[in-house]
Structure 1
Amino acid sequence: MRPHRHGVLPRLSLLLLSTAQMASAQERGDQSICDFYAAKNYGENNATTQLKLMQGIVAYAYAGGNSMPNGDKDSTGIFNPGQYKGQDVYLRPWFDGSKATSNNNDQAVNIQWLDGGGTAPLVAFMNGSTPTAEIQKGTNQYKLFTHWYYVFGKVYSCSLYKTFLDKSFEPLNPAYVHKYMDLNQTHVGYFIDQLIVASKYYGFSDADSNTLMTAMNAKYNARCLPPIDNSVTSICLAKECPVAVPSPNCAVYNNVKPRGVDASAAATGGGPAPSSSSPSSPDPHSSSSSSSSLSAGAIAGIAIGAAVVLLLAVGMALFFCRRSRKHTETAPSAPGAGPGPGAGPGAEAGAGAVMGSPPPAPMPTPSPAGFPPPQYGYAHKPHEGYHGRHPTDSYISYAPTSPSPGWVEVKPRPEELSAYTPVSPSIGSSPSPYRPEMTQLAEMESPEPPSGWNSTAKPNTSTS
């Protein structure tokens, strides 16, 4: 009788995987994944080789390496049509400006991110035609890729990733960056998978590749991930995305800010709203009895209330009528006022009345966005004001109260991605030809900025 071998192969696979992971860790020692493979691929570990490793992985992941010598057939490229777990995926429309998915000051806009040569400079770098990916400088694509080198340098734990950029920038929340992309688990999974395939092309072991894949999926590919280092990292934001376990925090994603996390929402936490259930059927007997008793009480209350209100109204009318008559008989006549019935309302109102007074100084009309808010003019008395029917004829008193309901306060000009970046007037329409100063507009990570970034003077720029 043959021995029973069910379960032997799974246990053997786990044993081999565990052994491979231990061997990989022992081989790297205390070096990070990036530092180790930079030295392994280019002979030494320094800022130049670390950056070159990131450039190679990013180029291979986005352009695809299935046409390269010894390239992986599964490396179709993030910019090209591909498949993930049997599902067709095509992410290029998120980058070529055909979809309004880029977040510019909380507005979905079309931006062409492939205006620096597209995949051509990436392929030229991979096949050795050029020493680097020579993306045209000054383009959106150049800014995007140089920031990606920095971002993935941190994801891959490059010890010198902060030296990858010659100009510092402010980080944004990944959830804010991807707010309008509506990415699902297949989109994000394909994105991460292409990075892992590219990493293996550069010699990453299966153990190190699996470690990276697990870490990136855990950090980005679920909804309601709790904040990490004062940053909200979920980029899988479509409704069908799985909710993070074991402790989701959906509250912090209700109003994602460009940077940081709402402290109250982070403390509250909480998972997704529970599924709606059928409401319990009300008891018809209790409902009818409550209705009848309420009707009787309501009728009595209405009758008594109406009588009281009527008596008060009659009493007040008599009081003010007698007081007005007495005041008219005893008050001296105003100088120059005609005593006859033809006298105008100003004669009876006296010098202090609003209607008989000249109108106060007009309030200035709203100033254009970007200028100081308007100051309100003074009325003759702090508690009095006059409002004309025409918007240019309105006046308001300078009082410690809010403006009239008819007055629409000027909202300040919305903050740009950076203080010196103009907003395109055609937001949300056709693919935008403008090139905003990108401060991390489309990446996954939200790293801390290099020291001294906030003391660097930023030059003025204008849209091209």
Structure 2
Amino acid sequence: MLFKSLALTAAAVGSAVAQRPSNESLCDYYTTALLMNNTAANQMTLLTLVVNTAVIGNYTTPNVGIMVPGILTPGTFNGTEVNLAPYFSGGLASSNTGGSSGMSVNFLDGGGAAPLKMNMPANDTTSNQYILLTHLYEYFGTLLGCSMQGTSNDYPAYSGDNSMYEVHKFMDLSAAEVGYFITQVALSGASFGVTADDLQPVGTALSTLFGHRCAAATVVIPTQPSALQAICIDDTCPIAATSADCAAYTMAAVEPVSANSSNMASSTTRGTATSTGSSTATATSSGAVATATKNAAAQLGVGMAAVAGGFAALLL
């Protein structure tokens, strides 16, 4: 299938990706490197691949040899055991549905991993899973500078919540949990051939925005107002080095309780689904991808295993 061919292309990008011009965004550069044409549809495909892999782990075969366990897979970060799955499955009353405490919301209600393995966000366009995944595609597209985003229905602009603190404030995420999440995102990028030099500023930016307690309000999405963004708010989280504003974070960190019948949301509870024109991102033909693979293979000269070996140290 096409997205499996894309991973083979990623394996062949090699030394070419080390030459990204400083005035070209990560999204624009790697869309061209992997998919040849820098279109809105191709940018959506790139972010779909990266986000889906970050969530469920490697599902493209072959890849460049970078092991991505996935956000939903229990693991460790700096020696601390981490299991983020209950935040997604509704096992914890940790979602902000607009009330004074967390509610249980199942964000895997659109088919779970199966549609993600088919390069889709969900099996439908109304589930919590669809809303979450499409918002992730859009949010990270803005962070990575996708220049074609918002120019057509092939890749809509992000229109979700502007404060990641408000979204996550009932989760009581620890430094290890946030670090594990960021690491999976970064390893996913590495698995498609993104270089360590390009991944380091991404990891630093994510850590600065979300991983530091009391971080001052800031703008992330240019079309949205300044808002609190820290999702790491418990005592294990490092305090922001500059402009810390702890008073702005009025919600005390409280560990979420296990879900029960009284704290379960019965339906989709946050926002409305963002139209993407199609639930399956499309890109260049498989023939064009095969040609790109053949041409790029001649330039292969960089071992991406080195990226995986040193990446965690770049993040926090």
- Please report the TM-score for the alignment, with normalisation by the length of structure 2: 0.70
Residue 77 of structure 1: SS of its match in structure 2?
Answer: coil
* AA partner of residue 153 (structure 1): G
* AA partner of residue 205 (structure 1): T
The Cα of 1:65 is off from its aligned counterpart by 1.1
Q: Which residue of the partner structure matches residue 35 of structure 2?
A: 42
For residues 308-366 of structure 1, the C-alpha deviation after alignment (integer angstroms, 9 at most, x for no partner) is xxxxxxxxxxxxxxxxxxxxxxxxxxxxxxxxxxxxxxxxxxxxxxxxxxxxxxxxxxx
Higher RCO, 1 or 2 (CA under 8 Å, sep at least 6)?
A: 2
* AA partner of residue 27 (structure 2): C
* AA partner of residue 74 (structure 2): P
Q: Which residue of the partner structure matches residue 174 of structure 2?
A: 184
Contact 2:135–2:160 (Cα < 8 Å) also in 1? no
Q: Which residue of the partner structure matches residue 119 of structure 1?
A: 113
Q: 2:269 aligns with which of 436, 442, 446?
A: 436
Residue 37 of structure 1: SS of its match in structure 2?
Answer: helix
Correspondence 1:347-386 to 2 at 5 A = none
Correspondence 1:167-316 to 2 at 5 A = 169=159, 171-229=161-219, 230-254=226-250
Residue 121 of structure 1: SS of its match in structure 2?
Answer: helix
The Cα of 1:200 is off from its aligned counterpart by 1.0
For residues 75-120 of structure 1, the C-alpha deviation after alignment (integer angstroms, 9 at most, x for no partner) is 1110111222222211010011110100011331111110111111
Contact 1:66–1:76 (Cα < 8 Å) also in 2? no
Q: Which residue of the partner structure matches residue 305 of structure 1?
A: none
Query: For the residues of structure 1 that align with 2:205 and 2:162, how far apart are their CA atoms?
Result: 20
Residue 133 of structure 2: SS of its match in structure 1?
Answer: helix
- TM-aligned CA distance change 1:427 to 1:231, over 3 Å: farther
1:80 equivalent in alignment to 2:73? yes
Q: Which residue of the partner structure matches residue 333 of structure 1?
A: none
Q: Which residue of the partner structure matches residue 346 of structure 1?
A: none
The Cα of 1:438 is off from its aligned counterpart by 2.3
Residue 132 of structure 2: SS of its match in structure 1?
Answer: helix
The Cα of 1:437 is off from its aligned counterpart by 4.5
Contact 1:81–1:90 (Cα < 8 Å) also in 2? yes
Residue 76 of structure 2: SS of its match in structure 1?
Answer: strand
- TM-aligned CA distance change 1:221 to 1:252, over 3 Å: same
The Cα of 1:160 is off from its aligned counterpart by 2.4
Give the % identical residues. 32
Residue 173 of structure 2: SS of its match in structure 1?
Answer: coil
The Cα of 1:41 is off from its aligned counterpart by 0.6
For residues 99-157 of structure 1, the C-alpha deviation after alignment (integer angstroms, 9 at most, x for no partner) is 010001133111111011111111233xxxxxx45532221111111111111111111
Q: CA RMSD in A?
A: 2.7
The Cα of 1:247 is off from its aligned counterpart by 3.0
Q: 1:109 aligns with which of 87, 103, 106?
A: 103
* AA partner of residue 124 (structure 1): M
Query: For the residues of structure 2 that align with 1:67 and 1:39, how far apart are their CA atoms?
Result: 19
Residue 117 of structure 1: SS of its match in structure 2?
Answer: coil
Contact 1:110–1:429 (Cα < 8 Å) also in 2? no
* AA partner of residue 246 (structure 2): C
User: Which ranges in structure 1 are unaligned for 5 or more consecutive residues?
Assistant: 1-22, 126-131, 257-425, 441-464
- TM-aligned CA distance change 1:150 to 1:168, over 3 Å: closer
Q: Which residue of the partner structure matches residue 51 of structure 1?
A: 44
- TM-aligned CA distance change 1:49 to 1:116, over 3 Å: same
Contact 1:100–1:428 (Cα < 8 Å) also in 2? no
Residue 161 of structure 1: SS of its match in structure 2?
Answer: coil
Q: Which residue of the partner structure matches residue 457 of structure 1?
A: none
* AA partner of residue 131 (structure 2): K
* AA partner of residue 172 (structure 1): N
Q: 1:159 aligns with which of 135, 147, 150?
A: 147
Q: Which residue of the partner structure matches residue 403 of structure 1?
A: none
Residue 208 of structure 1: SS of its match in structure 2?
Answer: helix
> What is the number of equivalent residue pairs in this alignment?
243
* AA partner of residue 202 (structure 1): F
* AA partner of residue 147 (structure 1): H
Query: For the residues of structure 2 that align with 1:116 and 1:186, how far apart are their CA atoms?
Result: 28
Correspondence 1:3-82 to 2 at 5 A = 27-65=20-58, 68-70=61-63, 72=65, 74-82=67-75
- TM-aligned CA distance change 1:92 to 1:427, over 3 Å: closer
Q: 1:150 aligns with which of 127, 134, 138?
A: 138
The Cα of 1:175 is off from its aligned counterpart by 0.6
The Cα of 1:433 is off from its aligned counterpart by 3.0
